[in-house]
Structure 1
Amino acid sequence: MFKYFKKKREKKQEILHRVKTDKAKRKERKQEIAALPGTERKAEIKGDKLSRKKQKQQRKEELKTSSRKERRAAKKDARMYRKLKNRPVRFAGWSVLAALLLVIVVTVGPTVASVVGNLSGKHITIDTTSEEADEARAAADQVSEEIADEGLVLLKNDNDSLPLEDEKINVFGSTAFTFKYGGGGSGASDLSRAVNLFDALADAGIDYNEDLYDYYAGLPELEESVGNTDAGIVQVFKGMVSSDEAAGEPDVSDEAIDQAKAYSENAMIIVQSEGVEASDISDNQLKLSDEMDRLIEKVTDNFSNVTIVVNAGNTLELGFVEAYPSIQSVIWTGTPGPLGTRSLAEALSGELNPSGRITDTYAYDTESSPASENFGDYKYDNLDKAYLNYEEGIYVGYRYYETFYEGDEEGYNQAVQFPFGHGLSYTTFDWNIVDQELDNDSIELEVEVTNTGEVAGKDVVQLYYSAPYTPGGIEKSAINLVSFEKTGSLEPGESEVLTISYDTRDMASYDISDENYILENGTYEIKLGRNVHEIDDTLDFEIAEDIVYQTDTDTGTEYENRFTESENELTVLSRNDWEGTYPSDQNDSKVASDKVIERVQGHEYNDDVEMPETGAENGLLLEDLKGLDYDDPLWDEFLDQLTVDQMIDYVTEGAYHTREIDEHGIPNTVLMDGPAGFSFFGFKQVEAGAYPTEIVVASTWNKELAYEMGDMIGQEAKAYGIHGWYAPALNIHRSPLGGRNFEYMSEDPVLNGMIGAGMAKGAQDQGVTVFMKHFIMNEQETNARSGLLVWSDEQTMREIHLRPFEMAVKEAGVTGAMSSFSYIDGKWANPALLNGMLRDEWGFQGVVSSDAVFGFMEAPQAVTSGNDLMLDVLTAPDQKQRLEEAHEEHPEAITAGLRNSMHNSLYTTLKTHISN
């Protein structure tokens, strides 16, 4: 297998050279054509197109006469060529830095003051120095460590090599000195209390080879790395300009190896990835570098018990662990927060028994999923926008692998190394279904879990279902996660009965043709799984006749297709024709239709609305509305008092706070990032509790622990004077290449929804507005901040990408949302999404903020489409001017939109602890 990966890497380098050479030729040719007169230029462009068409046809003819093996190899090379040509480029992130600098340089007066003030965090008026704040951080650290403990995943443990019998270890590699506690950007957190890996080992009673430590610490390559970390905007910019190759690794001398062999037979190597907001990961960064290859080969040749630690928020290729028999164990830490090194050390010593489960499928080839075919840099020829086609449909992550390889165990085992939900323990558990109730309303199982091993531990019971599928009918995955529960710590011989239940309609599929959800008649298999592929028990549940759901169960709103305005046609992957529908970027139409262009560039203002009253003197203060329903008539009297100027200022200055309007009793509120603990994305450091990133929170598979984290976030918020939290992030891991995968939870919407709802409810129960984000389909960083048109079909959107947000609304009652950068169905701040789906269908009552504002995001479109606040760090004065100009042209529409935004924002403010 090692030779296979080496050969594949060499082929990739060869094709990458071709890509770069061809790119240089195209650039040179473009310059030649640009220098020609207009008539000659058109003729040359047309001639080049005909030439390319002839060459393509010639290649097709040549392939017809080739052997089958040659054709397959040629197709594989062509596919790799396309991927490399269109892959995300981290250096493209400079555009964000350039945009920032450009704004600061070319603007004057109040705009510069606004930018500098926003980046410096001058308006973030919080107090983190009180005794109450100290107590909250101390409690947060306890929860953080508990999450890191339970999020640790034991992927492999041959011969019970862990915990270590001889508690002495050699730690190889520079990566031990650059441990990844979290990711970069808004998902970063306060690492001022981070525990050094070597200190954690010592605290756990594990002796590490100090001579080997000194050898690495003295290397010139590591002098600047030891003990240094970046955060916030600095970390993002560094990530943008870093290489898209896997990190290198200094060589280790033979003398150091000999000394280490005399010290212990135990060795540990950490493998990492570099996840950061604003740039995606390259596929090369998910593989070992040549230098790391050599290190692993050298270490495994000399030590009998090697542990690989996966310290990454992205899914790495780990096939190499099977090439070396001496790699006895693999532990996944993810990006586990500042105290995660303790969890790792305690797992090595045996003080901690791992109980986490991975939240993604670990495939041998990270590019083998269909979503990887449409991930990268795609731009229209006739529209200044990038696009992304979600042609994989519902077959994301395990839904693809389990369905495509259904009935082909050999093929599955060659493709998948560790299935979704996989995780081992130092003990063993038996399951027994002691009770069951299955009917058309609900499914409920009682499962007795017994620790049959010799040490205490926790277990996770995963519940899946398989629905009847008709070829050519509604698309259905062969298996779907529907619920899960986790035990407490069970001593040897101890048992616990878990109750796992869900609504039967949760197994329904969305039928695009009839615009409803349906449970088709047939046999539904209810499956208890150790992971998605290892099923412990199966129950059959019969549905005699189709059950059709035409309205939302909570609001009674009739279902309808809401995202069909574009003329963009996708070939969506179908299990009825894998080969014929498998995604490919080769056939993309890079010409946007006139209707698409019109939707992107145009905006409809409803000038038929009645002009709201403004500037009335009704003598009401905001506190007079405390406890009133959203639709209470007194809201109209209060909102009548606001002037247009007051409302414009309020919605345009919504970056990390909302402004005070003293005469109406409207207080200033503070809104803060981030999903791993409060942080500020500018240049201001915030001392706050710091947690593992969301992928680790989800890997605990512990809903109660997620609630506890949210609850602690809420307690901190009250101690500091914070009222809103830009979290949790509920987007899925569509591809292993996603730059923010550390900040998101998993490839599965139900796991995201359940963990995310727990986090959200915990914070909201403390009176903190939770801004679930990024609503929706923000799974790629490349081109996101220039406005990315995302195309998908409605079933995929509802069942995969909308599902976790819907669960957060309905199960946690969230009162805040952050819209994404994405153009959904051709519209940024799409009213069908923000009003039709979110508010009308799901019953959401609250405020929607934009994500950080870039040039394509304009306030007039936002406030008339359901987006209430502009998180504008750079251009708030420009947004104010746009609204003033739009108000002159569309006074009724803009005034009504501003009024709705104020209503949503202020209603939400009264739900926070500020009103107490």
Structure 2
Amino acid sequence: MLEYFKKRKYKKQEILQRVREDKAKRKERKQEIAALPETDRKAEIESDKLLRKDQKKQRKEELKSLSRKERKVAKKEAKMYKKLRNRPRRFTGWAVFATLLLIIGITVGPTVTSILANVTGKHITIDTTSEEADEAREAADVVSEEIANEGLVLLKNENNSLPLADNKTNVFGSTAFTFKYGGGGSGASDQTRAVSLFDALTNAGVEYNKELYDYYAGLPELEEGTGQSDTGVIQVIKGMLSSDEAEGEPDVTDAAIAQAKQYSENALIIVQSEAVEASDVSLNELKLSDEMRELVEKVAENFSNVTIVVNAGNTLELGFVEEYPSIQSVIWVGTPGPFGTNSLAKALSGELNPSGRITDTYVYDVESSPASENFGDYQYENLDKAYLNYEEGIYIGYRYYETFYQGNEEGYNQTVQFPFGSGLSYTTFDWNIVNQELNSDSIEMQVEVTNTGEVAGKDVVQVYYSAPYTPGGIEKSAINLATFEKTKSLEPGESEVLTIQYDTRDMASYDMENENYILENGTYEIKLGKNVHAIDSTLNFELPEDIVYQSDADTGTEYQNRFTKSENELTVLSRNDLEGTYPSDQDDSKVASDKVIERVQEHNYDDDVEMPTTDADNGLILEDLKGLDYDDPLWDEFLDQMTVDQMIEYVSEAAYHTIEIDELGIPNTVLMDGPAGFSFFFKQFEAGAYPTEIVMASTWNKDLAYEMGEAIGQEAKACGIHGWYAPALNVHRSPQGGRNFEYMSEDPVLNGMIGSGMAKGAQDQGVTVFMKHFIMNEQETNARSGLLVWSNEQAMREIHLRPFEMTVKKGDVTGAMSSFSFIDGKWANPELLNGMLRDEWGFEGVVSSDAVFGFMEAPQAITSGNDLMLDILTAPNQKQLLEEAYKEHPEAITVGLRNSMHNALYATLKTHIFN
């Protein structure tokens, strides 16, 4: 055995050396191409692409000529090469975290005390043992299972193979023993009450082959993971330290197959991916491992009714299900929380009729999206920062596939396996538009949905629009989600009339040249779809003249381009020339301009502001301001009472809590993760646990999203929690995103509608909702080192900002969490946090940083619109930075501190503390 590992290690080192050599050659080639004139550069890039294509074809032919044994060895070596080449940087950021912890722990006494307080949760005083807390968790469990029930998606069901006719099945694979209930990191939740798959099958009356179970359970390398729940930080460390090589799938013997065939012709296999905060997912992890493919092939060849269960928060390649006729059904469960196994088992038995819809486009090749061309590790040569180019513009997910393949159905079908919004049912539905009112103010219709099948079920009516497009004009996707509604459970023959409405201006596009939104004249096609590609009916809305929107409908703030100060322009994908503008990281300029360097390194303090009053004796306490508007004059009198030291302490010491200032009636508050139920990054405690956000979104049920937020808010009140670091509203830019399980979908409108429902439910219970991560936090690689993210204003507004805007306006949030990203060259960009969030959208409340790293400094934060520092490691250092900045810029710092206190305390007054 030792000899085997020595050989494998040697082989790995040999291949790693090849990877390094090939990378060096590619770098040299890039430099050669970069030195060419513009006209020659494109031709050389295209030539290299063709060469790589020919080489790939040649390698395939060479493989065919090898013996089976040689082919297997060659495939393993090729797999190892690819994994080493594509391996994400796993230690960036979190390794800095650990290193800083070690260094500070040795050298700085006061900081050690601060760190220990944050890590041990000493400052967090919650009661999870009360009768009210027990009742809240029981209510949470009910909502959790309801979400799992409605979030389950039936993607394939040939010959009505599900529900199972004989309620017996064989469960193959080690994955059944390591079911993924959630993701890892701050988005993890308490899984101590999780139901194992086998218990769930029994509960639903589905018999499983116990001899096959015993075969797997007896394997020494297998350990069932039900109910095991590490803390978030442990999950992150495990994710960083783990290899991106998939665990080997144990072989199943011919005898076990023979016994299973006698038991039942039904078989079930679970396919999974690992995902955790701080690590992105490698391309290989989105595909079947060789061992898992061998298992699928063996089972598919021996059983006539095979079900594949997709237990993953990332979009996997599922093309293999079409290679085997016996794979009759595919069920997507995502990462469905502690009771998701119950939902799966009930769907198999027929007790549950699936009604979920997928929230991403499933394609045969996950690298086929333009965003995948710019995902990973990109470093500037002349600036100590990483960068990421969003060259896909607005064409993320279905917006790309539906636009690029418009009019090319054959090409579309060869590329897209399951379109965005796909999902089947055990029954059938008919739709009938019984009324419509389409005008320049609103699009409204009543749709009668009738269950025409034989069992009860729910349906989702998805409404899309296609706007008139002028080649060379403003970029527009061929189709966009406008809104959706879900029916109640309809019995056979029963009907329900859904009222569907949205504002006509929601179809407007952002015009970067004129700095406004515009509805261009022409025909707007309003489409009712079973999914984005299967359109049931279309209504035409004619707009005779352009409608230009110069200002925000709610605040009246005039629109303007807010993210162009760095003058860092990209070549962004254009519908007018999809092939010519298709993204590539081959011709990136890795040299930051002088303007970009200046933006990153400098911070401007406004020293012309008037010095506010401090330490006044006005006899006010915080409760005296309850119910007052944000701009009520009494706020000035209250804030005049605070000292600079008090304010510095308050904004610096804000990791998972805020401090008490007793003499002013300011209470301490407890602020907790996470999007799938309350959790603390460093310490476990019992709490309600929900499916991850991708499953919540796959319900397509806005009312259920509100119920989840409401249940979380009720638990918060029962336990003494006042702020919730959620919901997470970033989009699935790429299937590789390490936190895709924690985010909802590839579509901003779906994110905004589900996210605002969750937010509103919790806010209505008196909880400060910190929507996050504001904005463009869709990659973990380099994120915690301060990642410069580049896009254009239209894509930012229509895609990345849209769900946050909807949540501010529909969810009435009083909190936000800024991201790690440098937007337009700035972390804590004032145009984002003040200009966009507060001025344009009308947000009133508090902005917290995400966990603080070296590039995140309090003086920059509080003078740019970021109010609280979620600083686990170096809160004393943040205080020192503020004290030093105050000596140099007393007016600017005092005004910044005062604004931060105003924002934070306004949000605190809205919490259940003051109810």
- Equivalent residue of 2:382, what SS? coil
Shift of the alpha carbon at 1:739?
0.2
Shift of the alpha carbon at 1:220?
1.4
Deviations 1:449-500 (A, max 9, x none): 0000000000000000000000000000000000000000000000000010
* 1:488 corresponds to 2:488: yes
* 1:98 corresponds to 2:98: yes
Shift of the alpha carbon at 1:59?
12
Shift of the alpha carbon at 1:223?
3.5
How far apart, in 2, do the equivalents of 1:63 and 1:754 lie?
A: 42
Q: 1:661 to 1:742 in 2, by over 3 A?
A: same
| Maintained 8 Å contact 1:757/1:811 | yes
Q: 1:653 to 1:699 in 2, by over 3 A?
A: same
| Maintained 8 Å contact 1:246/1:287 | no
The answer for the alignment partner of 2:874 in structure 1 is: 875
The answer for the alignment partner of 2:742 in structure 1 is: 743
How far apart, in 2, do the equivalents of 1:73 and 1:336 lie?
A: 43
The answer for the alignment partner of 1:246 in structure 2 is: 246
AA in 1 matched with 2:812: G
Q: 1:858 to 1:65 in 2, by over 3 A?
A: closer
Q: 1:77 to 1:884 in 2, by over 3 A?
A: farther
Shift of the alpha carbon at 1:766?
0.5
* 1:144 corresponds to 2:144: yes
Aligned residues: 884
* 1:512 corresponds to 2:512: yes
Structure 1 residues 793-872: aligned runs within 5 Å? 793-872=792-871
Shift of the alpha carbon at 1:227?
5.7
The answer for the alignment partner of 2:695 in structure 1 is: 696
Structure 1 residues 247-396: aligned runs within 5 Å? 247-396=247-396
The answer for the alignment partner of 1:584 in structure 2 is: 584
| Maintained 8 Å contact 2:471/2:576 | yes
How far apart, in 1, do the equivalents of 2:42 and 2:487 lie?
A: 58
AA in 1 matched with 2:18: T
- Equivalent residue of 1:256, what SS? helix
How far apart, in 1, do the equivalents of 2:408 and 2:419 lie?
A: 15
The answer for the alignment partner of 1:21 in structure 2 is: 18
AA in 1 matched with 2:370: P
| Maintained 8 Å contact 2:728/2:772 | yes
Q: 1:573 to 1:369 in 2, by over 3 A?
A: same
The answer for the alignment partner of 1:167 in structure 2 is: 167
How far apart, in 1, do the equivalents of 2:509 and 2:914 lie?
A: 42
- Equivalent residue of 1:902, what SS? helix
How far apart, in 2, do the equivalents of 1:662 and 1:831 lie?
A: 31
* 1:73 corresponds to 2:54: yes
The answer for the alignment partner of 1:7 in structure 2 is: none
- Equivalent residue of 1:496, what SS? strand
| Maintained 8 Å contact 1:847/1:904 | yes
The answer for the alignment partner of 2:732 in structure 1 is: 733
AA in 1 matched with 2:814: T
Q: 1:57 to 1:840 in 2, by over 3 A?
A: closer
AA in 2 matched with 1:685: Q
| Maintained 8 Å contact 1:314/1:737 | yes
Q: 1:50 to 1:309 in 2, by over 3 A?
A: closer
Deviations 1:70-123 (A, max 9, x none): 575369999x99998576333556624533543453333121111111111111
Shift of the alpha carbon at 1:225?
4.8
The answer for the alignment partner of 1:616 in structure 2 is: 616
The answer for the alignment partner of 2:71 in structure 1 is: none
Q: Which moved more, 1:280-289 or 1:103-112?
A: 103-112
| Maintained 8 Å contact 1:463/1:529 | yes
Q: 1:768 to 1:706 in 2, by over 3 A?
A: same
The list of structure 1 runs, each at least 4 consecutive aligned residues, that deviate by more than 6 angstroms after superposition, is: 14-19, 45-54, 56-66, 75-78, 80-84
Shift of the alpha carbon at 1:255?
1.3
AA in 2 matched with 1:564: T
Deviations 1:798-825 (A, max 9, x none): 0000000000001111110000000000
Q: 1:58 to 1:525 in 2, by over 3 A?
A: closer
- Equivalent residue of 1:90, what SS? coil
- Equivalent residue of 1:128, what SS? coil
| Maintained 8 Å contact 1:104/1:115 | no
The answer for the alignment partner of 1:178 in structure 2 is: 178
| Maintained 8 Å contact 1:86/1:377 | no
The answer for the alignment partner of 2:112 in structure 1 is: 112
Structure 1 residues 400-549: aligned runs within 5 Å? 400-549=400-549
How far apart, in 2, do the equivalents of 1:525 and 1:57 lie?
A: 40
Structure 1: runs of 5+ lacking an equivalent: 1-13, 30-44
- Equivalent residue of 2:576, what SS? coil
| Maintained 8 Å contact 1:283/1:737 | yes
CA-based RMSD: 2.6
The answer for the alignment partner of 1:761 in structure 2 is: 760
Deviations 1:352-379 (A, max 9, x none): 0000000000000001000000000000
The answer for the alignment partner of 1:900 in structure 2 is: 899
How far apart, in 2, do the equivalents of 1:219 and 1:372 lie?
A: 38
Q: 1:163 to 1:93 in 2, by over 3 A?
A: farther
How far apart, in 2, do the equivalents of 1:609 and 1:84 lie?
A: 54
Q: 1:590 to 1:87 in 2, by over 3 A?
A: farther
How far apart, in 2, do the equivalents of 1:77 and 1:635 lie?
A: 73
TM-score by length of 1: 0.93
AA in 2 matched with 1:872: D
| Maintained 8 Å contact 2:615/2:643 | yes
How far apart, in 2, do the equivalents of 1:660 and 1:20 lie?
A: 57
How far apart, in 2, do the equivalents of 1:466 and 1:390 lie?
A: 23
Shift of the alpha carbon at 1:24?
5.5
| Maintained 8 Å contact 2:194/2:226 | no
* 1:781 corresponds to 2:780: yes
The answer for the alignment partner of 2:556 in structure 1 is: 556
Structure 2: runs of 5+ lacking an equivalent: 1-10, 60-78
The answer for the alignment partner of 2:625 in structure 1 is: 625
- Equivalent residue of 2:367, what SS? coil
How far apart, in 2, do the equivalents of 1:51 and 1:562 lie?
A: 34
Q: Which moved more, 1:893-902 or 1:227-236?
A: 227-236
TM-score by length of 2: 0.93
- Equivalent residue of 2:505, what SS? helix
| Maintained 8 Å contact 1:169/1:268 | yes
Deviations 1:161-181 (A, max 9, x none): 000001111100000010000
Q: 1:478 to 1:854 in 2, by over 3 A?
A: same
Shift of the alpha carbon at 1:18?
7.4
| Maintained 8 Å contact 2:83/2:245 | no
Deviations 1:35-56 (A, max 9, x none): xxxxxxxxxx9999779979x9
- Equivalent residue of 1:394, what SS? coil
Shift of the alpha carbon at 1:738?
0.2
How far apart, in 1, do the equivalents of 2:748 and 2:237 lie?
A: 30
How far apart, in 2, do the equivalents of 1:493 and 1:16 lie?
A: 65
| Maintained 8 Å contact 2:179/2:225 | no
Q: 1:215 to 1:91 in 2, by over 3 A?
A: farther
Q: 1:134 to 1:100 in 2, by over 3 A?
A: farther
Quote the sequence identity (%).
Answer: 80
| Maintained 8 Å contact 1:355/1:424 | yes
How far apart, in 2, do the equivalents of 1:519 and 1:61 lie?
A: 38
Deviations 1:713-759 (A, max 9, x none): 01000000011000000000000000000000000000000000000
How far apart, in 2, do the equivalents of 1:63 and 1:150 lie?
A: 47
Structure 1 residues 27-46: aligned runs within 5 Å? none
AA in 1 matched with 2:905: L
Q: Which moved more, 1:406-415 or 1:565-574?
A: 565-574
How far apart, in 2, do the equivalents of 1:497 and 1:128 lie?
A: 43
Shift of the alpha carbon at 1:232?
1.1
How far apart, in 1, do the equivalents of 2:45 and 2:247 lie?
A: 38
| Maintained 8 Å contact 2:87/2:244 | no
